[in-house]
Structure 1
Amino acid sequence: MVATKEFQVRVKKRERVVPMHPIVQHNLPLSNLDLLLPPKDVGVFLCYKRPSYSYRFWSFELMVSTLKTALAQALVHFYVFSGDVVRNSKGEAEILCNNQGVEFVEAYANIELCELNLHNPDESVEGKLLLPKQSRVLSVQATELKCGGIVVGCTFDHRIADAYSGNMFLVSWAELANSKPLTMMPSFTKSFLNPRLPSSYDPSLNDMYIPISTLLPPRENNNETPPCRNDPLLSRIYHVNAKEISHLQSQTNGTKLESFSAFMWKLISKHASISQNEPKVASSITCKMGIVVDGRTRLVINKGDNNSMHKKEIIGCYFGNVLSVPFGEKKLSDLIEKPLNLIAQDVHEFLRKVKSDEHFRDLIDWVEVHRPKLCLAKIYSNGRDDGPAFVVSSGQRFPVSKVDFGWGKPIFGSYHFPWGGNAGYVMPMPSSKGNGDWIVYMHLTQGQLEFIEKEASHVFKRFKLF
């Protein structure tokens, strides 16, 4: 493995960027789907080359000024990012929209863009290009590099926004930096996700979600991450050629994501089987794979309203979490022996069951019945002791090419989410080149990553920026 070049990051300035026009202070309750997310931070970073000759007037100081001015404008519309997470009388999290602003960090890193080993974000990104969020809902870091390039990083509270919402914010921020009107105005109408009266749900949801209190002994009834085992979870970034993605899909009748997920399921299972010293034990172990499903295209709003375009507009602009995490569970032997097309059919089947308005309404009601208990997706706590488990979250709508603040498009962008559970996490995203290639962020055990690099080296290439 290529060693990461050692470099230091010097924080030059910390300040708070507040909305250009403050709103009236108020409390905004989280939706039932927001309440399913643990208090975890999600990072995203974008790398920009030194502005070319056509952008010769740009300096780091001017870039930062542009970022802060546009951020102050964006916070007028995305005001939840300038608030605080507080507890209500029931002990549940909600947003205090108080115009307190966003932490903005200016930093300098004594390394050139071409020297960054982004294949290993644990060393090159974590705690450097994405400093820990000290407080609040969102923090932003602009890091000047020795070559004149810049890395813009954001860290936000996942309870407040999913990736779709984060993408909406990034695009709007860039549009305002270029004095363009917003193409999408965020909606915070949480009533769109209100539970039904009376609440009812399919019992199968009890197998998908679980109260956190049932996962730990009573004296440890909290959200602490389970202790790390001998094989630590690490983050890595890979490049996958468009031809390899198409080849995987050609072996199945599924979508690219279904085919890719089936391939990952097979790889993780094969590694688990090889890792077992006793074949009889290995034959009884299962492997779980979850896939994050966005409910925005599934939910139906205002069923009496025949204006379908109006419905799509409301759903598309909704800011918050609209996610479900169904998963499949199969014996290692079945996943190893089955051809890829049959595994892809299994993936398609467990996804089909949740791609409906009814499923998401049921999920909202399930949370309502269990409130104020904190709950989360069951697969988040699975893995290690009861067989491997991981989640695939599609980042195909990551708008990397649209986040141009005025000095050129990013040459690379990725989410960074070492989420802290026992289960692994995999997120494929489009390459900034726009040629159909994928960038795949993985947060898996060291053993799993080493096996994948050996077994599927033709698919997963260690990412190199240049």
Structure 2
Amino acid sequence: MGSLEGGVAVVVKTTEVVAAVLPVTEHRLAMSNLDLLLPPLDVGIFFCYDDGGKNNEVMMSMVKKGLGQALVCFPVLAGEVVQNSEGEPEMLCNNRGVDFVEAFADVELRELDLYNPDESVDAKFVPIKKHGVISIQVTEMRHGGVVIGCSFDHRVADAHSINKFLLAWADMTRSNYSRADNSIEPLLSPDESLINKFIPSYRRSLIVPREPGRHDPAIDNMYMLIKDIASNAAEGPPSCHLQSRIYQISAEQIKLLQAQSGLKRTKFESFSALLWKLLAQAAKEDKKRCKLGIVVNGRNCLSKSASMDNYFGNVLSVPYGDASVGELKSLPLSEIANLVHACVESAVTEEHFRGLVDWVENHRPQPAMCRIYSCLPSDTEEVAVVVSSGQRFPVSKMDFGWGRPSFGSYHFPWGGTTGYVMPMPSATDDGDWIVYMHLFQRHLDFVEKEAPHIFRPFVY
């Protein structure tokens, strides 16, 4: 079915606050040094279901019940971000609860133009977070479809952590269906076995600075103090702004890209290399620079234990490569993939992450951020983009009791001038990728024109 032209009217039916179903002793939880590298940005996620169940009242009841149970394991998500005496953010775990919106859209899922999420999804199916750490909206569609959207504070959690919460929420909701026999009941305590399955680790001792601290000088080139951004932005922000698009890339094209990049390179590295080259080819001046950042999850670097895998918070670094437009145009894809690989390898060590923790400690309480996020298009800079791997995004496992979703994606129009790209597996589990891209319009247009067989606009 074709896309719906124009805007989509979404009517809010009710708004309430869902708290953890068991009492929470109010306490404060410090953010780690790696959390402190994140500015106050909200990240969106949404899942589409062709059939949310025949009884919408039961469906909403079970989803809220499962949410209240999941928050028992994830109390930080039911709390608030406050400031400590140094002016730094920290978590107040007070069980304030999560803003939960029930809504209705008088359209079918297959009429949504998900290729243009800024128009069809943003602030419609993915809520704008106004309070707390995470906001959730469940929207009923015409003829039984359902969209579940979330917005969460990136300072509190990275995608790895939020994925754990989403799986817990889905599993607990699905368990309620089987226990309650589709009847509406008061909120129940969560199944103890599910609590043990999903309980995260909040051990900040896993990420503490060393004494004495030390770091590789390369980190000074990767990160910067926010107060220094003003000196780099004397020209002011550009008049144009970034646009979001969602594409589907076939499994066949992904394998072909990897073959062209060399089989020693991962599919993610091969994709990133292609994107970097295309962005350079879009430029008219060979002397300009193109920067490509790669989001690296440091959990395996810091510890091989299960406690680190379950660690809740941010464990990320963003190394980046910097090359001239002319160089990227002339290099074959395999050599650009080697540059991407070298960029990743520079950060996938324990020493890198320990050094990054020490670097933050050395500058506290001055807030800092990834340097690549401060880039602005200029006479010397063509574009900067950050690519984050969503290959562990649990799209196909997000079954709340009425089947797995037919589509899922992140939505992160973060508001800066650095692009953001997130490839993730298709909900169909057929090897295809869904790719969320947030770039300047001219770069999106060029990518589609030069590689239409790879970047296919997503159509339901």
Q: Which residue of 2 aligns with 1:170?
A: 166
* Pairs within 5 Å for 1:180-199: 181-182=193-194, 183-199=197-213
Q: Is the 8 A contact 1:299 1:360 kept in 2?
A: yes
How far apart, CA to CA, are the structure 1 residues paired with 2:357 and 2:261? 33
Residues 28-50 of structure 1, C-alpha deviations (whole Å, 9 max, x = no match): 01000000001000000000112
* Pairs within 5 Å for 1:307-386: 311-385=304-378, 386=381
Counterpart code for 1:207 = N
1:44 equivalenced with 2:45 (yes/no): yes
How far apart, CA to CA, are the structure 1 residues paired with 2:239 and 2:25? 51
The Cα of 1:315 is off from its aligned counterpart by 1.2
* Pairs within 5 Å for 1:25-424: 25-51=26-52, 58-179=54-175, 181-182=193-194, 183-216=197-230, 229-253=238-262, 254-273=265-284, 282-300=285-303, 311-385=304-378, 386-424=381-419
- Length-normalised TM-score, structure 2: 0.92
Counterpart code for 1:59 = N
Residues 265-314 of structure 1, C-alpha deviations (whole Å, 9 max, x = no match): 000011123xxxxxxxx2321100000000011113xxxxxxxxxx4211
Secondary structure of the residue that 1:32 maps to in structure 2? Answer: coil
Counterpart code for 2:448 = E
Q: Which runs of 5+ in 2 are unaligned?
A: 176-190
How far apart, CA to CA, are the structure 2 residues paired with 1:81 and 1:373? 25
The Cα of 1:387 is off from its aligned counterpart by 2.5
Q: Which runs of 5+ in 1 are unaligned?
A: 221-225, 274-281, 301-310
Change (3 A) 1:370 1:18: same
Q: Is the 8 A contact 1:46 1:152 kept in 2?
A: yes
The Cα of 1:5 is off from its aligned counterpart by 4.0
Q: Which residue of 2 aligns with 1:457?
A: 452
How far apart, CA to CA, are the structure 2 residues paired with 1:17 and 1:334? 53
Q: Is the 8 A contact 1:231 1:447 kept in 2?
A: no
Counterpart code for 2:207 = L
Secondary structure of the residue that 1:426 maps to in structure 2? Answer: strand
Counterpart code for 1:287 = C
How far apart, CA to CA, are the structure 1 residues paired with 2:408 and 2:352? 33
How far apart, CA to CA, are the structure 2 residues paired with 1:6 and 1:196? 53
Counterpart code for 2:244 = S
Q: Which residue of 2 aligns with 1:24?
A: 25
Residues 40-97 of structure 1, C-alpha deviations (whole Å, 9 max, x = no match): 000000001125xxx6xx4222111111001111101100001010000000000000
Residues 396-419 of structure 1, C-alpha deviations (whole Å, 9 max, x = no match): 000011110101110000000011
Q: Is the 8 A contact 1:4 1:123 kept in 2?
A: no
Residues 361-381 of structure 1, C-alpha deviations (whole Å, 9 max, x = no match): 000000000100010000011
Q: Share of identical aligned residues, percent?
A: 51
Counterpart code for 1:69 = K
How far apart, CA to CA, are the structure 1 residues paired with 2:238 and 2:451? 25
How far apart, CA to CA, are the structure 2 residues paired with 1:376 and 1:391? 13
How far apart, CA to CA, are the structure 2 residues paired with 1:64 and 1:283? 55
* Off by >4 Å, runs of 4+ in structure 1: none
Q: Is the 8 A contact 2:127 2:150 kept in 1?
A: no
Residues 132-186 of structure 1, C-alpha deviations (whole Å, 9 max, x = no match): 1111101110001112111001110000010011110000111111226433321
How far apart, CA to CA, are the structure 1 residues paired with 2:5 and 2:21? 40
How far apart, CA to CA, are the structure 1 residues paired with 2:42 and 2:305? 29
Change (3 A) 1:395 1:360: same
How far apart, CA to CA, are the structure 1 residues paired with 2:410 and 2:27? 31
Counterpart code for 2:447 = I
Counterpart code for 1:316 = D
Residues 190-217 of structure 1, C-alpha deviations (whole Å, 9 max, x = no match): 1110110111101110100000000116
Q: Which residue of 2 aligns with 1:304?
A: none
Q: Is the 8 A contact 1:383 1:390 kept in 2?
A: no
**RMSD (Å), alpha carbons:** 1.7
Q: Is the 8 A contact 1:4 1:124 kept in 2?
A: no
Change (3 A) 1:3 1:112: closer
Residues 395-450 of structure 1, C-alpha deviations (whole Å, 9 max, x = no match): 00000111101011100000000112211000000000101000000000010011
Q: Which residue of 2 aligns with 1:303?
A: none
